[in-house]
């Protein structure tokens, strides 16, 4: 057996097996839209951004969480005696200290901060004057509160929780960005779907045109056989058939290209690109006549861009209110209340006899009883004579506020223009369909008349082929007008902010 023949057979099998393995999958518009939304990478990236904004919002709330701190310390300091109280001349002594401290502190609304401190220490020294007293235990409990009176103080939570409100606005703005991205994906996917529908229907028109050419060819062949038509006429028919067969090849390539565009916007995995996609939804036209005023109001209420602009304007207003508060001088009052106690050896100073030893429990008990309380109050004023930084920040906030207002006016004008254009395109597309339907009806009647004239010898073979081409063009133009209406309807729903609701798709 010839090895070259085997190699050629293997090569052909390799080249044609993918084509043979291709399958056809029928897909509805709803399935295409859902797949595109679920697999779109830009939407997934925006989801990550939303999570980031949510964490930022949580961080603004974390500042109000209480904090508990604790510390343990130990120290030892050696020194040389300088007098009799410290020991004999030239001798050394050591001071040992152990401490345990804990603090609870928390920030509240209206610029209030408070704390509770619990301190404990142990002091032991080998100095001569302190040896009899042994270990000295100390404990203290202190309460402290600081209240801002001017800058940083306000009964309006939008001021003292400005960061939280702004972060919340940024979070909702990120959600609107996600909606913008989803609407873009839906619009691109629907356009690609209807392009594929057009390509498929256009191929059917080309096939009908080819069938008409073949019918005319058969009729002319019979006439030639009976001697009522010159044989040269078949040459024109064969040329028409060849041209229309080539047109079918072009239409088939257009279908494959439209399939690829739909697969691309759906972000299908590469393995699924082997499948042919066949659209299941027919082109059903339901004429709509929306009112411009109502549609514009609907757009202002539903367009994610308009919602985001409103959020950004609200954030600018919050910042302006906060910066106005920051222009005030700093004035705060701090109040403290606490007690302290210590416990050491009880010594008879005349005899030097140790009557009792100190302990942690004695120190803690004395401190907890608040037998020796103390209090403190302090008023602090911070004033910048020129305060340029706060004034400039306030001016900047005013400019930001004005810029947001102008952006909303500009965006509203853009939305109005888009809604107006969408309605106008919808109306013109509906009129185009009616005109193309009349044209198609005329072309069908004209073809019947021309064929009858040809049968009676009052027309030519060339003229019949020409009328057949006009009929095919009228059918294609009608399909194109219907697809254009579908796309115009998509742009209208996009313009009024109802595209996702129209398809009942949400994230």
Q: Residue 69 in contact with residue 197, Cβ under 8 Å?
A: no
Residues 172, 290, single domain; the answer is: yes
Asked if the structure places residue 459 within a domain, the reply is yes
**Three-state secondary structure call for residue 503:** coil
Residues 374, 406, single domain; the answer is: no
Asked if the structure places residue 377 within a domain, the reply is yes
CA 282 to CA 483: how far, in whole Å?
A: 10
Residue 347 confidence (pLDDT):
63
Asked if the structure places residue 7 within a domain, the reply is no
CATH of the domain at 178: 1.20.1600.10
Residues 29, 257, 202, 276, CA torsion sign: negative
Q: Alpha helix (H) ranges present in 283-387? A: 292-302, 304-326, 360-368
Residue 254 confidence (pLDDT):
95
Residues 29, 141, single domain; the answer is: no
Residues 289, 351, single domain; the answer is: no
Q: Which residues neighbour 382 within 8 Å (Cβ) at sequence distance 6 or greater?
A: 151, 329, 330, 331
Greatest C-alpha distance within the chain: 158
CA 15 to CA 26: how far, in whole Å?
A: 26
Residue 118 confidence (pLDDT):
94
Mark which of 324, 352, 382 sits at the end of a domain. 382
- 0.85 surpassed by pTM: no
DSSP per-residue letters across 178-190? HHHHHHHHHHHHH
Asked if the structure places residue 159 within a domain, the reply is no
Asked if the structure places residue 321 within a domain, the reply is no
Residue 108 confidence (pLDDT):
84
Give strand pairing partners of 113: 107, 146
CA 24 to CA 485: how far, in whole Å?
A: 27
CA 193 to CA 36: how far, in whole Å?
A: 11
pLDDT < 50 regions, the chain: 1-21
Q: What phi-psi label fits residue 14: left (phi over 0), alpha (psi between -120 and 50 degrees) or beta?
A: alpha
CA 243 to CA 254: how far, in whole Å?
A: 17
Q: Residue 419 in contact with residue 496, Cβ under 8 Å?
A: yes
Q: Please state the φ and ψ torsions of residue 501, each to the nearest 5 degrees.
A: -65, -35
CA 186 to CA 304: how far, in whole Å?
A: 14
For 84-119, letters b (16+ CB in 10 Å) and e give: eebbeeeeebeeeebeeeebeeeeeeebeebbbbbb
* Four-CA torsion 40, 41, 43, 47, nearest 10 degrees: 140
Residue 157 confidence (pLDDT):
83
Asked if the structure places residue 352 within a domain, the reply is yes
Asked if the structure places residue 12 within a domain, the reply is no
Mark which of 357, 382, 407 sits at the end of a domain. 382
Residue 48 confidence (pLDDT):
92
Residues 291, 265, single domain; the answer is: yes
Residues 299, 434, single domain; the answer is: yes
Q: Residue 81 in contact with residue 125, Cβ under 8 Å?
A: no
- Tally the domains of the chain: 2
**Three-state secondary structure call for residue 246:** helix
Residue 219 confidence (pLDDT):
85
Residues 403, 265, single domain; the answer is: yes
Residues 201, 273, single domain; the answer is: yes
Residue 127 confidence (pLDDT):
64
Residues 47, 171, single domain; the answer is: yes
Give strand pairing partners of 378: 334
Residues 96, 28, single domain; the answer is: no
Asked if the structure places residue 328 within a domain, the reply is no
Q: What is the DSSP code (8-state) at residue 150?
A: S
Q: Please give the C-alpha separations between residue 251 and each of 5, 209, 237, 283, in angstroms, as whole numbers.
A: 36, 13, 21, 19
Which domain range does residue 173 map to? 23-56+165-315+398-502
Residues 254, 222, single domain; the answer is: yes
Residues 474, 417, single domain; the answer is: yes
Residue 393 confidence (pLDDT):
92
C-alpha radius of gyration, the chain, whole number? 44
Q: Please, what is the Cα angle at 89 between 94 and 354, to 5 degrees?
A: 55
């Amino acid at each position: 057996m010839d090895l070259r023949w085997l190699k050629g057979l293997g090569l052909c099998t390799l080249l044609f097996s993918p084509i043979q393995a291709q399958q056809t999958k029928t897909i509805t518009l709803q399935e295409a839209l859902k797949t595109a939304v679920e697999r779109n990478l830009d939407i997934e990236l925006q989801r990550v951004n939303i999570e980031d904004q949510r964490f930022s919002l949580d961080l603004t709330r974390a500042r109000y969480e209480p904090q508990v701190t604790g510390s343990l310390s130990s120290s030892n300091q050696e020194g040389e005696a300088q007098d009799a109280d410290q020991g004999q001349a030239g001798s050394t002594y050591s001071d040992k200290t152990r401490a345990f401290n804990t603090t609870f502190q928390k920030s509240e609304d209206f610029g209030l901060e408070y704390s509770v401190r619990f301190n404990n220490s142990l002091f032991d020294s080998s100095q001569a004057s302190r040896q009899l007293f042994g270990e000295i235990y100390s404990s203290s409990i202190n309460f402290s509160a600081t209240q801002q009176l001017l800058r940083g103080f306000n009964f309006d939570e939008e001021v003292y929780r400005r960061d939280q409100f702004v972060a919340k606005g940024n979070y909702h703005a990120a959600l609107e960005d996600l909606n913008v991205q989803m609407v873009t994906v839906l619009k691109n996917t629907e356009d690609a779907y209807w392009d594929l529908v057009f390509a498929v229907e256009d191929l059917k028109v080309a096939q009908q045109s080819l069938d008409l050419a073949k019918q005319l060819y058969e009729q002319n062949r019979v006439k030639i056989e009976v001697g009522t038509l010159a044989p040269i006429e078949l040459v024109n028919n064969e040329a028409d058939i060849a041209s229309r067969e080539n047109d079918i090849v072009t239409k088939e390539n257009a279908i494959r290209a439209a399939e690829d565009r739909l697969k691309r916007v759906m972000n299908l995995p590469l393995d699924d690109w082997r499948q042919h996609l066949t659209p299941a939804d027919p082109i059903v036209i339901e004429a709509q006549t929306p009112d411009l005023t109502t549609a514009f109001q609907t757009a202002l209420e539903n367009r994610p861009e308009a919602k985001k602009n409103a959020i950004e304007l609200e954030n600018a207003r919050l910042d302006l209110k906060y910066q106005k508060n920051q222009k005030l001088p700093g004035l705060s009052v701090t109040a403290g209340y606490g007690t302290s106690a210590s416990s050491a050896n009880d010594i008879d100073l005349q005899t030097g006899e140790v009557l009792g030893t100190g302990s942690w429990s004695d120190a803690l008990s004395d401190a907890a009883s608040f037998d020796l309380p103390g209090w403190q109050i302090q008023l602090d004023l911070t004033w910048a004579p020129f305060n340029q930084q706060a004034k400039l920040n306030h001016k900047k906030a005013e400019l930001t506020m004005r810029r947001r207002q102008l952006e909303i006016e500009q965006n509203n004008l853009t939305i109005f223009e888009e809604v107006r254009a969408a309605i106008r395109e919808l109306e013109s597309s509906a009129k185009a369909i009616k005109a193309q339907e009349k044209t198609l009806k005329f072309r069908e009647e004209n073809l019947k008349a021309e064929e009858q004239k040809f049968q009676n010898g009052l027309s030519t073979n060339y003229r019949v082929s020409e009328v057949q081409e006009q009929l095919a063009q009228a059918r294609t133009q009608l399909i194109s007008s219907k697809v254009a209406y579908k796309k115009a309807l998509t742009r209208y729903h996009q313009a009024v902010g109802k595209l996702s609701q129209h398809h009942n798709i949400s994230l």
